[in-house]
Structure 1
Amino acid sequence: MAKEKIPKTNAMRILDRLKISYEVLSYQCDEFIDGIHTADTLGIPHENCFKTLVLQGKSKGYSVFVLPIEEELNLKECAKAVNEKSVEMIHVKDINAVTGYIRGCCTALGMKKEYPTIIHESALDCPYICVSAGKLGVQLKLSPQDFIKATGAKALNIIHE
């Protein structure tokens, strides 16, 4: 039986253009549950699977934060990382308007606009990370250094310890 071909997403096209190698991982997903479910379905260690959250600062600017799926953001550290007085999560209903993606498949690669991106520093200790490919049921596996190169992300401590 032939393996189903997955159409290229914006994230994949960006990585292709930058000549960055990646692996596409896919699974049946009719409705997004959470990153832990995704990691378990694909057999990925939780520390290698990263979620993407978008926050808005007091200045009304947006920032993207990429962190391990089991962790929670430290909003004070996030605000400091993007030179804001404070930051808060954008509402789920605003995700598509701000990023071009829907809940469950948001990725820092290929958003409508480029926003400052911060990845949790633990990514640097991983041989690879998995992030959404911008489509439900599709993940990208790549080196954290290549992700940083593609997104211009800074690696900082942005989670609760």
Structure 2
Amino acid sequence: MSRATPATLALDRAGVAYALATYDYDPNAERIGIQAAQALGAAPGEVLKTLIVRADGRPACVVLASDREVSMKRLAAALKAKACAMMAPVEAERITGYRVGGVSPFGQKRRLPTVIDAAAAALPQAFVNAGQRGLQARLAPSDLVRALDALVATVT
């Protein structure tokens, strides 16, 4: 497994301190983030998932704890959109350049507006996908917010 991904390169360029962790990715897991948390020995609330959505037809990124569900209504309000919906996996892969299960908020093909759930942003440390299935970066979510110029809002 390569530890140099577009995500880790973007983290390096942004000057974000992080530590990499690997785990055995299970493509058949019902909930990928929960499986990652179990494999890493971390609380599910400390392993963040990255979702790609459409807000009024435009792509956007949302990051939240793996044990939470996004409220599309709250997310739309945060993005000042009328409606949000999950993007089809094949389209999310095309837009981000990552495979589902390995989507990182960093180093995407094009920078998307990003919302970080307020509960996740308040954590002292959390895991976020580092751009490859089975590769996570442990970092301060405040650095995630800063490096992505992300909006913090309650979206769960």
Structure 1 equivalent of residue 68 of structure 2: 71
TM-score, normalised on structure 1?
0.90
- The change in CA–CA distance for 1:32 and 1:147 in structure 2 (over 3 A counts) is farther
Runs of 4+ in 1 over 3 A off after TM superposition: none
Question: Is 21-30 or 44-53 further displaced after alignment?
Answer: 21-30
Structure 2 equivalent of residue 54 of structure 1: 52
User: What CA distance in whole angstroms lies between the structure 1 residues aligned with 2:74 and 2:63?
Assistant: 13
User: What CA distance in whole angstroms lies between the structure 2 residues aligned with 1:46 and 1:30?
Assistant: 16
| Residue 23, structure 1, aligned to residue 19, structure 2 | yes
- One-letter amino acid matched to 2:15: K
Structure 2 equivalent of residue 84 of structure 1: 81
- One-letter amino acid matched to 2:126: I
The Cα of 1:150 is off from its aligned counterpart by: 1.4
Aligned with residue 39 of structure 2, among 38, 41, 63 = 41
What SS is found at the alignment partner of 1:15?
A: helix
The Cα of 1:32 is off from its aligned counterpart by: 5.9
- One-letter amino acid matched to 1:68: A
- One-letter amino acid matched to 2:49: K
Query: Do the aligned residues in 1 keep the contact of 2:96 with 2:110 (CA within 8 Å)?
Result: yes
TM-score, normalised on structure 2?
0.93
Q: Could you tell me which runs of 5 or more consecutive residues in structure 1 were left unpaired when the two chains were aligned.
A: none
Structure 2 equivalent of residue 122 of structure 1: 119
For these two proteins, the number of residue pairs brought into alignment is: 154
* Percent of pairs with identical residues: 29
Query: Do the aligned residues in 1 keep the contact of 2:49 with 2:63 (CA within 8 Å)?
Result: yes
Q: Could you tell me which runs of 5 or more consecutive residues in structure 2 were left unpaired when the two chains were aligned.
A: none
The Cα of 1:26 is off from its aligned counterpart by: 0.3
The Cα of 1:27 is off from its aligned counterpart by: 1.3
Aligned with residue 14 of structure 1, among 10, 14, 17 = 10
What SS is found at the alignment partner of 1:31?
A: coil
Query: Do the aligned residues in 1 keep the contact of 2:6 with 2:131 (CA within 8 Å)?
Result: yes
Query: Do the aligned residues in 2 keep the contact of 1:24 with 1:138 (CA within 8 Å)?
Result: yes
Query: Do the aligned residues in 2 keep the contact of 1:32 with 1:104 (CA within 8 Å)?
Result: no
Question: Is 25-34 or 118-127 further displaced after alignment?
Answer: 25-34
